[in-house]
Chain A
Amino acid sequence: AQKVTQAQTEISVVEKEDVTLDCVYETRDTTYYLFWYKQPPSGELVFLIRRNSFDEQNEISGRYSWNFQKSTSSFNFTITASQVVDSAVYFCALSDSGGGADGLTFGKGTHLIIQP
């Protein structure tokens, strides 16, 4: 069975600080996909990134970066120089490409609060 654990329920930092959101996943499949979504107060989940299990290269997009480590089954997300607009709930999610449900398995989310 698939499982995604986001141990940090809530994180509060002051603007301009760097912050890392942790994600640990479990799957028996060798082919799978990992995602991060942002959920602002409006409620609409916004796609941030997708990574497949064969691509362990870290990725940077502006102030966002992702560290994928298969050895520790982790896919952590770092925001550099955080801004108030980054305040939201962030979800890590997992899917496989094989049998079973076609839906994503989400973690419980990390509520990120950026204080001015």
Chain B
Amino acid sequence: GAGVSQTPSNKVTEKGKYVELRCDPISGHTALYWYRQSLGQGPEFLIYFQGTGAADDSGLPNDRFFAVRPEGSVSTLKIQRTERGDSAVYLCASSLTSGNTGELFFGEGSRLTVL
């Protein structure tokens, strides 16, 4: 499809396990963002990529969270030693332009449940 694709759509895991969430942005979009949305809350910024590099990772809550985008397209958000508090919907967005002046195109998210 032409939109932002995220897999898996749902992930249930046990506390302490390792999880990977994948984002396939719109073709040609150089900017890619990860957000986390808890129930009843707005999305919270996690990390921003411009091309292959993480231009801003100030939103990552701790060192258990890490994201990569090795070829400047697909990105993977990795969470180590998951905790129950990590349960949320993880949203990916891409944009044609860098910074915050452009329109963000969001995927439908990956719902993570940590038991």
Contact = CB atoms under 8 A, between A and B. Distances in A.
Interface residues of A, number: 26
A105 B103 contact: no
B43 interface: yes
A8 interface: no
Contacts of A101: 45, 48, 56, 58-59
Contacts of A107: 42
Contacts of A93: 42
A103 B91 CA distance: 13
A82 interface: no
Interface in B80-115: 89, 91, 93, 98-101, 103-109
A93 B98 CA distance: 17
B43 A45 contact: yes
A33 B98 CA distance: 14
Interface of A: 4, 33, 37, 42-47, 50, 52, 91, 93, 95-97, 100-109
27 contacts: A33-B101, A42-B108, A43-B89, A43-B108, A45-B91, A47-B103, A47-B104, A50-B101, A52-B101, A95-B100, A97-B100, A100-B58, A101-B56, A101-B59, A102-B33, A102-B56, A102-B99, A103-B35, A103-B56, A104-B43, A106-B44, A107-B42, A108-B40, A108-B41, A108-B42, A109-B40, A109-B41
Given A50-B101, A104-B100, A108-B40, 5 more contacts: A47-B103, A101-B58, A101-B59, A102-B55, A106-B43
Interface of B: 3, 33, 35, 40-46, 48, 55-56, 58-59, 89, 91, 93, 98-101, 103-109
